[in-house]
């Protein structure tokens, strides 16, 4: 797929794989929508992307994917700016490093489920009608190796 000029939403773009993914799409000339909770890190990445030149663009949208209203706002702001969504990269997620019995049932367990599972489902659910209407689009779901390889005290 030709990436130049495509609108790509990357969740979890403030660090790690999400940040690297956004940077790579931008290098190919995509219009990258950077979504995460840490807006200061997104703004720094957006400046870097714009400085690359080559038609790369960046839109910063602060979003907590455990909140449906933030997900809806992400989709709305993307459509207001670019009018379409070509690629959704579901990358946001986190884990905790402790024994299960030590984890807080809401802060650690429920919030992980809200972001890592429901966030992916709800973000895809919001983007899908746009892609269907466009008759094109791609959804990329990222996961941690921790989902495949058991590590003591690490939850996903």
**Kind of pairing between the strands at 154-155 and 96-97:** antiparallel
pLDDT at 43: 98
- pLDDT by residue for the chain (156 residues), tens digit each? 799 999 999 999 999 999 999 999 999 999 999 999 999 999 999 999 999 887 789 999 999 999 999 999 999 999 999 999 999 999 998 888 888 899 999 998 899 999 999 999 999 999 999 999 999 999 999 987 666 776 777 665
pLDDT at 19: 97
> Measuring CA to CA, which residue among 88, 89, 34 is closest to residue 56?
34
How far apart CA 93 and CA 17 sit, in angstroms, is 11
The domains of the chain are located at 7-155
pLDDT at 134: 97
pLDDT at 34: 98
Q: What secondary structure letter does DSSP report for 135? A: T
How far apart CA 51 and CA 127 sit, in angstroms, is 28
pLDDT at 156: 56
pLDDT at 53: 82
For domain 7-155, give the CATH superfamily. Answer: NAD(P)-binding Rossmann-like Domain (3.40.50.720)
């Amino acid at each position: 797929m030709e990436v130049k000029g495509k609108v790509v939403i990357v969740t979890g773009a403030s660090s790690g794989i999400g940040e690297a993914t956004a940077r790579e799409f931008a290098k190919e000339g995509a219009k990258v929508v950077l979504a995460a909770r840490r807006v200061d890190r997104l703004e720094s990445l957006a400046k870097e992307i714009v400085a690359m030149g080559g038609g790369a663009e960046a839109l910063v949208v602060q979003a907590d994917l455990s909140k449906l209203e933030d997900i809806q706002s992400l989709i709305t702001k993307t459509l207001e700016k670019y009018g379409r969504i070509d690629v959704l990269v579901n990358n946001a997620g986190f884990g905790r490093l402790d024994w299960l019995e030590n984890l807080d049932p809401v802060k650690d367990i429920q919030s992980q489920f809200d972001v890592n599972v429901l966030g992916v489902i709800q973000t895809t659910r919001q983007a899908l009608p746009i892609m269907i209407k466009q008759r094109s689009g791609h959804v990329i779901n990222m996961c941690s190796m921790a989902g495949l390889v058991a590590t003591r005290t690490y939850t996903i």
